[in-house]
Structure formats: C-alpha cells, structure tokens
Structure 1
Amino acid sequence: MSIESSQLIGVAVGNTRTMIGHVRGMEVGETSSHPSDDPAAVAKGVGDIVASTGPLPVVVASVNEPAARAIAKALREDSGDRVFRLGADLPIPILHALDDDSSVGQDRLLNAMAAHRIAGQACVVVDAGTCVTVDFVDGEGTFHGGVIAPGLQMMLDAMHHGTASLPRIVLRDSPAPAGPFGKETRGAMLLGVRGAVLGLVRLTLERYAEHYGAYPQVIATGGDALTLFEGDEIIESIVPNLQLAGIAAACLKGAEQESQGEPE
C-alpha cells in the first residue's frame, strides 16, 4: 500500500510532544507542536491545517505507541479513512544493516530517509531531543544504526534527582554561560551537559569517518539542535522538522517502489 499524493499532513508523535505539519513534496510548511498526551489538541492542529489546505492524507509516525493509538483514534473521528500509520498501514522502506530492526524508533529511520534525500550522499544525522541519537547513513541510503544517549534536559534531571543538593534546572529558561568556566553550580551543570553532547557528537563522527573512510555530511535536528549547534562548523545544516520530511520521504519511496513493482 502507498500514498500517491504530492501533499500530506505529517504527524510525528514523540515522547512528550507531537509535531504536525503540512508537507508538499519534501518541503515542510505550516507546523505546530502539541502535548503527546492531548489527542484532542493534536486533532485540532490537524484540522487547522486542513482548513487552509483542504482534505489531505494524514500520516502518523510514532515513538510513543500508547499516545499514537489515542491520537490516531481522535484523527480518524475527524478524517476517517484518510489517516494512515507508518509501520502498520504504510511501510518505512529503508534498507538497513542492523542485526535487529524490530526495536529501532521510527524517528531514527525517518530522519535517515530525509537526510539522505537532502544530502544525496552518505551522512550523519544528529537528533538532539529528549535523547540524543547520532546515526550513520551510507551513500546508498542504507541505515547502519548509531548511538543513543541522554538529552540535555534528561541529564539535568538525572543530576537533580540523583543527588541531595544539585538544583532542578529547566533548560529552556537557562542559557549556558558564555565562558569556559561555570562560576556557580547551575552554570557548571549547564556547561557540563552541553559539553557531554558536543563531545559525544565529535567522538562519534570521528569513529564513523574512520570506518567510512571520509567525513560525511552532518545534519542536525531536534528541539535542542539550535541551542547546541548553531554556528558549529561540523554541522552542514540544521533541519528542525526533519522527521516530518522523513514521513514524506517514506511515502514517496513507497509509491516509487509500488509503481516499479518492487517489494516493500
């Protein structure tokens, strides 16, 4: 099964937030973000897009199955048979070199598909959100896997909950100090988590480049991508809505394979 449409509404259900967006080809237009535990808000967001675009296929990807089921149910009450779930109704047609792909998050696969279409060559995808993933896609578009680590807020929360005196810090309200030294505890924690992610990305990129024999392009996405990588010379581009573009890439590839009679 495939969707033969040049436009769709992508719904990317995350652990805490769900991003929705109008996607034309691979270009992401109007977007909005909603709590993943509020299906009605997500359905209203989709309805707001439909009000300006007219009826379109709604394609749902998820790393949060309970939330995705509730969201898909709410969407079907409004959009009926125009709602499709990746992995259940539609394939994610990406080649991989994994030992076991059964537990790989759809977000990683979709980011990989979109990044390879954008780069047109081997690339590394850094997704800086609740967790941080650094994944490698070769020149043929094959997903090789990568690494997963705690995200900035998760590390800050772990330090607070795991100690008696380290404070609770909300990342979005707390910019890191500009200098190299944390002059007080909060600043030291903020510099520490930032350095942990930046060090992870650089070390992992070096390992991938050694294995691949060249430095691939690096594409960053996720809610903390701008905070971490804006102006960083190792990042080729920052694409905030890469997963929504990946939903479109999966649909486009599925339609291409179906038209050519290839197995999904």
Structure 2
Amino acid sequence: MHPLNLCIDLGNTTGKAAFFRQQKMLEYHEQLSEKSILHLVQKEQPHHIIISSVRSNLDGLLDQLKQYSEVMVLDSILPVPMINHYETPHTLGTDRIAGVVGARVLYPQDSCLVIDAGTCITYDFIDQQDNYFGGSISLGLQMRFKALHHYTDRLPLIEASTTRPALVGTNTPKAILSGVINGLVAEIEGVIAGYSENFGNFAPILCGGDAAFFESKIKESIFVASNLILIGLNRILIYNVENKLKS
C-alpha cells in the first residue's frame, strides 16, 4: 500500500488539511486549529506531512508533528516540480506555488491560469513546460467592500449579494454592489482575455474561498477546484519524497 500523506494549508486563524495516497484524496478537513491537526496526526499516523502557512512562527507545531511523522514545510527553498522564474522567490506566497503545481496535476497537457479568489485575488500562469514567471495580485471581494467603507466618511459597509447585481445601481448600496461585484467580474474576465491574447489556449482554474461565488457570474468556461492548494501540496510532497529515494 502506498504511504499516507497529510497536506496542511494554514491560514491566519484556521487551517485546511487532506489525506492522500499517491494522487488520490481520501479525507478532507477544514476549520482546523493546531490542536485538531495534532489530533488528526495522532489518530491517522501519516508517513509524510507537508505544510503551507502564512504564519511566521510554526516552531511549536512543527516540533509536535515531528514526533509522529516526517515533516516538510513549503518555502522558497523546498524543491518544487516547476521552473520558477519569479524575480523574488523569497516573497512568493506558498499558496501561489502550490496552486500552479496543483493546476498542472489536473491539466498535465495544458498551460494553466490559476485564479485564487480569497482575501486577495491572485492570478498565476504556468506553461506546458512548467515555466512559472508570476502573475498579479488584486483586492479580494470583501476587501473591496471594506475599503470603500473604511476610506470614506459616508459609504456604508455592504455585504455581497448572492446574485449578480444590476449594472446601474439606483441607490448607494446597489451602486456599491454593482461597482464591486460587476467590477471584479469584469476584472477576472479581462485578465482571462489578456492571457488568452498573449499565450493562446490555456486552462483557467478558479479556487479560493470566493470561488463558488464567482463561478456562475463569469462568462468564460472555468473549472472550479476548491482543493487546488492541497492537491499541489501533495504533488510537491511526492516530488520531494521521490527525489530523496533517488539520492
């Protein structure tokens, strides 16, 4: 039987995790605290663990995890199955790395544009030869609503509507909804069109916390992969384990 892998994606407050054997995801868990992650590890005893995190200090968690399994942390030094041309790799978010690697797992024959709709919206492109040059970073959905409220005296804080708003907002809340949601949809569609003009055919992939929100609002055919980061982490883990066995 193939070894059991645990892939962990840690946010600022909670984390997501999935167990894999080879490329097959067996279990998915979300809203995880460090305590619940340790409980999972103690219960399932995975052979290998990989972590991607936005947190600056993981020492305490790593020390505990290493008691049960071999642990690797995705950073700018860990080898990955892509050619990284980013000019400042030490500033590149590990979620962006895992995202493009995961995209190539799902589309091994295609260039891919990964659109991660979370706190920020990131756009990352990787070609058929696994060359990664970078992409762009933009304000996310909730950040746009909060910025309009925070940086003005009179604009209210609005919650996103589930349906796409009318183009013409007939009052201030509706105008904010139109500006934020329609503007963001236009941005995403425009970025896809720009990459298509410059790079030809590719697979656009949408992930992140707001992926489901935008899926039905974007005109272009787009694949939603909610677990793309975890899929990429698993591929990076396997890549490093295989390289270690060869050496």
Q: TM-score, normalised by structure 1?
A: 0.81
Specify the alignment match of 2:136 in structure 1.
147
Q: Provide the C-alpha distance between the structure 2 equivalents of 1:254 and 1:55, rounded to a whole number of angstroms.
A: 16
User: Do structure 1's residue 108 and structure 2's residue 101 form an aligned pair?
Assistant: no
Q: Provide the C-alpha distance between the structure 1 equivalents of 2:9 and 2:130, rounded to a whole number of angstroms.
A: 21
Aligned residue type for 2:50: V
User: Do structure 1's residue 62 and structure 2's residue 60 form an aligned pair?
Assistant: no
Specify the alignment match of 1:38 in structure 2.
none
Q: Is the 8 A contact 1:94 1:109 kept in 2?
A: no
Q: 1:47 aligns with which of 39, 43, 49?
A: 39
Per the TM alignment, residue 116 of structure 1 is displaced from its structure 2 partner at its CA by 1.0
- Segments of structure 1 that go 5 or more residues without pairing to the other structure are 35-40
User: Do structure 1's residue 10 and structure 2's residue 10 form an aligned pair?
Assistant: no
Aligned residue type for 1:130: T
Q: Provide the C-alpha distance between the structure 1 equivalents of 2:151 and 2:103, rounded to a whole number of angstroms.
A: 36
CA 1:59–1:89: 2 relative to 1, 3 Å: farther
Per the TM alignment, residue 221 of structure 1 is displaced from its structure 2 partner at its CA by 0.2
The number of residue pairs the alignment matches comes to: 243
Per the TM alignment, residue 169 of structure 1 is displaced from its structure 2 partner at its CA by 3.0
Specify the alignment match of 1:73 in structure 2.
60
Specify the alignment match of 1:202 in structure 2.
189
CA 1:196–1:63: 2 relative to 1, 3 Å: farther
CA 1:50–1:218: 2 relative to 1, 3 Å: farther
Q: Structure 1 residues 250-259 or 81-90, which shifts more? A: 81-90
Per the TM alignment, residue 97 of structure 1 is displaced from its structure 2 partner at its CA by 2.3
Q: Provide the C-alpha distance between the structure 2 equivalents of 1:234 and 1:50, rounded to a whole number of angstroms.
A: 44
Aligned residues: CA RMSD = 2.5
User: Do structure 1's residue 99 and structure 2's residue 87 form an aligned pair?
Assistant: yes
Secondary structure of residue in 2 paired with 1:234 = coil
Secondary structure of residue in 1 paired with 2:168 = coil
Q: 1:223 aligns with which of 184, 205, 209?
A: 209
CA 1:151–1:76: 2 relative to 1, 3 Å: same
Specify the alignment match of 1:253 in structure 2.
239
Per the TM alignment, residue 7 of structure 1 is displaced from its structure 2 partner at its CA by 2.8
Secondary structure of residue in 2 paired with 1:169 = coil
Q: Provide the C-alpha distance between the structure 2 equivalents of 1:254 and 1:132, rounded to a whole number of angstroms.
A: 29
CA 1:175–1:215: 2 relative to 1, 3 Å: same
Specify the alignment match of 1:243 in structure 2.
229
Secondary structure of residue in 1 paired with 2:84 = coil
Per the TM alignment, residue 164 of structure 1 is displaced from its structure 2 partner at its CA by 0.8
Q: Is the 8 A contact 1:10 1:58 kept in 2?
A: yes
Deviations along 1:88-108, one digit per CA (max 9) or x if unpaired, are: 894334212222222111110
Per the TM alignment, residue 233 of structure 1 is displaced from its structure 2 partner at its CA by 4.6
Q: TM-score, normalised by structure 2?
A: 0.86
Q: Is the 8 A contact 1:219 1:235 kept in 2?
A: no
Secondary structure of residue in 2 paired with 1:20 = strand
Q: Is the 8 A contact 1:134 1:146 kept in 2?
A: yes
Deviations along 1:88-143, one digit per CA (max 9) or x if unpaired, are: 89433421222222211111011000101111110100000000011111001111
Q: Is the 8 A contact 2:164 2:182 kept in 1?
A: no
Secondary structure of residue in 2 paired with 1:147 = strand
